């Protein structure tokens, strides 16, 4: 190939390259290229005019001139608003310098900043960083906040983030037959419509699901559960947590003259909050029962029509003594939740009472427990054997069926074996309904005094004392193990009820004592024996009604005794092996 042929080939290649560059928009048409030919016969520059190349494709619109394009959005991460140590809502976290709930007084007692620097994504080339520190030399110490620019030294970094869905986890859009054509026609550049659509989806409210330990949110804050913290005094800002059962007692200092102004003593303070089921739905707290306790400890349950009468506490003067009535003494929340972590029902049980100056400081009791939807609580007293100190699980036999737990059908809510509870007044007519659970392994004894007068008849007192000793719904069965199921009918131990009367005939018999004997044994291996109840006997002792003069006092008592009937354990060994081999008849010859 000669020099001229080589020159023509070079010009053809340059023309093809120029046509491609013209389509790409890098070199406009009409550009003159000067080609120097060194080593050829001619050193004169050859002017070349690039001609437009015909193509069957329609000219592509440049990306910058598309109708859907717009300015790229600025980064949306504000490091000054980020705070990873802010764990408590509406409360100041200790040593959390970025907590917006902390005031200058809180900062003055901080020892150090737990999170000194807060940044966004570390892959950015340049980003803002929030720097927190404490000026301990100031009086009082102060928090120092700085917003500085931080440069990423890496050569592989993100200059700017302009794709908003990449900053959070969203559900991907599933393509089907109906949406395929629409997605194919969508432009691949940045679109204002697409950006606004993404913002709408991200800002839409999501259904809130509670998890274990998360504070229960209300319409204004969170569900408050008073409890003692550093002392026995009640702290009202303690939040109730999801699936965390609590039962606490705390004291409160009150002034009887201003008890009407203390909202923590009123029923409305505990019944007015509305628990958030999700971002939109609210669950009201329903008052299920109200029990009034008088100064002499008598209990009276109010009907539904009388609830408004005790909705507000008030001061009553009884001579020189001031008494504050309808004061909240005990609060019990019963919250029903679903498998999805939503609170769907909130019940409230209250104990109100009268408070005098002798009862100050006042002791209050608060309890919250959770019940799963379509289930009933089954408290266990062991797994499988009974644990010392836990209550005996009891049930009763209906006309047809098997033993089942005693729940809210009676005052014995958890299905426990109970007996009469002793009080300081020792008045039998005032302690009806006050029961104490029988704890496994604990021998217990309680009682009260009955004052007999001429106005009291034997038949009325006999019925009253029998109901007092047995309680409401005396159980017919006791679970052999702490985790026995109600459907295991043959495993439950029946309660043998025996009535002993005096030998005096034709006289009214007055029940005066109830003794319960529980026999148990050690069941299972020697290394891990389990306590099993094998027999329960209840003995109701009655005596003849005494002749009453002016006034007479008799003692009513109950007792529970646990008897260990375990047989002594004996170590067992295998029998010694025997040799059944047959020897030949002349084995001992010539000795035998």
Q: Are residues 519 and 417 both part of a single domain?
A: yes
The secondary structure of 178-204 as a DSSP string is: HHHHHHHHS-SS--HHHHHHHHHHHHS
CB 350 within 8 A of CB 285: no
Residues 296 and 364: their CA atoms lie apart, in Å, by 18
Half-sphere exposure of 459 (CA within 13 A, CB side): 0
pLDDT at residue 494, rounded to an integer: 92
Does 48 fall in a domain?
Answer: no
Task: For the beta carbon of residue 251, count every other beta carbon within 10 angstroms.
Answer: 15
Residues 181 and 462: their CA atoms lie apart, in Å, by 87
pLDDT at residue 150, rounded to an integer: 82
Which stretch of DSSP H or E encloses residue 150? strand 142-151
The secondary structure of 280-308 as a DSSP string is: S-EEEEEEEEEEEE-TT--EEEPPGGGTG
Contacts of 456 (CB under 8 A, 6+ apart): 548
Residue where one domain finishes, among candidates 158, 173, 203: 158
Q: Are residues 404 and 467 both part of a single domain?
A: yes
Residues 536 and 514: their CA atoms lie apart, in Å, by 13
Question: Using the 8-state DSSP alphabet, how is residue 427 labeled?
Answer: B
pLDDT at residue 193, rounded to an integer: 43
Task: For the beta carbon of residue 35, count every other beta carbon within 10 angstroms.
Answer: 12
79-116 burial: b if 16+ Cβ within 10 Å, else e = beeebeebeeeeebbebbbbbeebeeebbeebeebbbe
Does 540 fall in a domain?
Answer: yes
Q: Are residues 221 and 343 both part of a single domain?
A: yes
Per-residue pLDDT 10s for the chain (592 aa) are 565 666 666 665 656 555 544 444 444 444 443 333 333 333 444 444 434 444 444 444 444 434 434 444 455 567 888 888 888 888 898 899 999 899 888 888 888 898 898 887 777 788 788 899 998 888 888 899 988 888 877 777 877 666 666 655 556 667 777 777 777 766 554 343 444 444 433 343 444 578 888 888 888 888 888 888 888 888 888 888 888 888 888 998 888 878 888 888 888 888 888 888 866 688 899 888 888 888 887 888 887 656 655 667 677 777 777 888 888 899 999 999 888 888 899 999 988 888 888 888 888 899 998 888 887 656 678 888 999 999 998 887 765 555 554 433 344 555 678 888 887 777 877 776 778 889 999 999 988 888 877 777 788 888 888 888 888 778 889 999 988 887 787 889 999 999 888 776 667 888 889 999 999 999 988 888 999 999 999 999 988 877 666 677 888 899 999 999 998 877 666 677 777 777 777 777 777 6
Q: Are residues 501 and 404 both part of a single domain?
A: yes
Give me the sign of the Cα torsion angle 430, 432, 437, 441. Answer: positive
Number of structural domains (the chain) is 3
Structural domain that includes position 151: 76-158
Residue where one domain finishes, among candidates 130, 158, 186: 158
Q: Are residues 111 and 240 both part of a single domain?
A: no
**At 277, is the secondary structure helix, strand, or coil?**
coil
pLDDT at residue 125, rounded to an integer: 82
Residues 206 and 301: their CA atoms lie apart, in Å, by 43
Does 18 fall in a domain?
Answer: no
CB 466 within 8 A of CB 511: yes
β-strand pairing of 299-301 with 362-372: unpaired
- Two structure tokens written together for 111: 């020892």
Residues 494 and 397: their CA atoms lie apart, in Å, by 10
Does 582 fall in a domain?
Answer: no
Q: What is the 3-state secondary structure (H, E, C) of 44-110?
A: CCEEEECCCCCCCCCCCCCHHHCCCCCCCCCCCCCHHHCCCCCCCCCCCCCCCCCCCCCCHHHHCCC
Task: For the beta carbon of residue 123, count every other beta carbon within 10 angstroms.
Answer: 12
Please work out, in degrees rounded to the nearest 5, the angle formed at the alpha carbon of residue 170 by the alpha carbons of 164 and 173.
105
Does 62 fall in a domain?
Answer: no
Contacts of 516 (CB under 8 A, 6+ apart): 417, 419, 438, 536, 537, 538, 539, 558, 559, 560, 561
Task: Decide: pTM greater than 0.95.
Answer: no
**At 259, is the secondary structure helix, strand, or coil?**
helix
Q: Are residues 335 and 416 both part of a single domain?
A: no
Does 41 fall in a domain?
Answer: no
What is the residue whose two structure tokens read 């340049």?
A: 126
Does 293 fall in a domain?
Answer: yes
Contacts of 461 (CB under 8 A, 6+ apart): 450, 452, 510, 545
pLDDT in tens, 28-56: 444 443 333 333 333 444 444 434 444 44
Q: Are residues 423 and 556 both part of a single domain?
A: yes
Q: Are residues 404 and 437 both part of a single domain?
A: yes
pLDDT at residue 161, rounded to an integer: 65
pLDDT at residue 504, rounded to an integer: 66
Residue where one domain finishes, among candidates 372, 407, 439: 372
CB 286 within 8 A of CB 346: yes
What is the residue whose two structure tokens read 């203390």?
A: 262
CB 85 within 8 A of CB 96: yes
Q: Are residues 220 and 334 both part of a single domain?
A: yes
Residues 428 and 450: their CA atoms lie apart, in Å, by 6
**Number of residues in the chain:** 592
pLDDT at residue 12, rounded to an integer: 57
Does 481 fall in a domain?
Answer: yes
Q: Are residues 419 and 298 both part of a single domain?
A: no
Residues 553 and 427: their CA atoms lie apart, in Å, by 10
Q: Are residues 394 and 473 both part of a single domain?
A: yes
Q: Are residues 418 and 549 both part of a single domain?
A: yes
């Amino acid at each position: 190939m000669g020099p001229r042929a080589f020159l023509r080939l070079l010009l053809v290649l340059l023309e093809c390259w120029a046509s491609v560059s013209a389509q790409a928009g890098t070199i406009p048409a009409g550009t003159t290229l000067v080609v120097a030919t060194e080593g050829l016969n001619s050193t004169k520059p050859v002017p070349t005019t690039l001609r437009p190349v015909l193509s069957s494709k329609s000219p592509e619109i440049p990306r910058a001139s598309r109708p859907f394009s717009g300015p790229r959005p600025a980064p949306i991460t504000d490091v000054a608003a980020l705070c990873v140590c802010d764990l408590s809502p509406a409360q100041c976290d200790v040593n959390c310098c970025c907590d917006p709930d902390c005031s200058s007084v809180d900062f003055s007692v901080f020892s150090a900043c737990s999170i000194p620097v807060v940044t966004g994504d570390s892959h950015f080339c340049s980003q803002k960083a929030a720097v927190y520190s404490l000026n301990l030399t100031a009086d009082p110490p102060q928090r120092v906040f700085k917003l500085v620019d931080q440069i990423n030294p890496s050569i592989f970094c993100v200059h700017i983030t302009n794709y908003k869905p990449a900053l959070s986890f969203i559900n991907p859009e599933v393509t089907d037959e109906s949406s395929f054509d629409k997605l194919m026609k969508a432009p691949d550049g940045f679109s204002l419509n697409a950006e606004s659509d993404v913002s709408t989806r991200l800002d839409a409210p999501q259904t809130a699901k509670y998890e274990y330990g998360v504070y229960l949110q209300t319409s204004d804050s969170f569900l408050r559960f008073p409890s003692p913290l550093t002392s026995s005094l009640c702290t009202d800002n303690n939040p109730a947590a999801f699936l965390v059962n609590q039962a606490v007692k705390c004291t409160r200092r009150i002034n009887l003259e201003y008890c009407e102004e203390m909202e923590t003593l009123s029923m409305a303070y505990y019944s007015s909050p509305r628990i958030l089921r999700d971002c939109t739905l609210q669950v009201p707290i329903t008052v299920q029962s109200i029990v009034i306790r008088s100064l002499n400890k008598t209990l009276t349950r109010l009907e539904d029509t009388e609830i408004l009468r005790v909705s507000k506490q008030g001061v009553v003067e009884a001579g020189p003594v001031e008494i504050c009535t309808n004061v909240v003494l005990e609060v019990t929340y019963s919250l029903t939740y679903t498998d999805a972590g939503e609170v769907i029902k909130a019940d409230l049980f209250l104990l109100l009472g009268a408070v005098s100056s002798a009862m100050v400081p006042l002791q209050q009791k608060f309890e919250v427990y959770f019940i799963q939807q379509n289930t009933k609580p089954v408290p266990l007293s062991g797994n499988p054997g009974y644990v010392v100190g836990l209550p005996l699980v009891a049930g009763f036999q209906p006309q047809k069926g098997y033993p089942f737990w005693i729940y809210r059908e009676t005052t014995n809510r958890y299905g426990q074996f109970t007996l009469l509870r002793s009080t300081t007044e020792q008045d039998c007519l005032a302690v009806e309904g006050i029961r104490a659970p029988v704890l496994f392994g604990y021998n217990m004894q309680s009682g009260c005094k009955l004052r007999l007068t001429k106005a009291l008849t034997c038949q009325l007192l006999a019925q009253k004392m029998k109901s007092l000793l047995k309680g409401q719904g005396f159980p017919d069965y006791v679970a052999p193990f702490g985790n026995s199921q109600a459907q295991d009918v043959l495993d439950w131990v029946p309660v043998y009820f025996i009535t002993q009367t005096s030998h005096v005939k034709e006289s009214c018999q007055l029940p005066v004592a109830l003794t319960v004997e529980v026999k148990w044994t050690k069941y299972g291996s020697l290394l891990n024996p389990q306590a099993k109840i094998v027999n329960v006997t209840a003995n109701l002792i009655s005596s003849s009604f005494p002749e009453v003069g002016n006034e007479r006092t008799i003692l009513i008592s109950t007792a529970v005794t646990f008897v260990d009937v375990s047989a002594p354990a004996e170590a067992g060994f295998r029998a010694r092996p025997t040799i059944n081999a047959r020897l030949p008849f002349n084995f001992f010859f010539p000795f035998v």
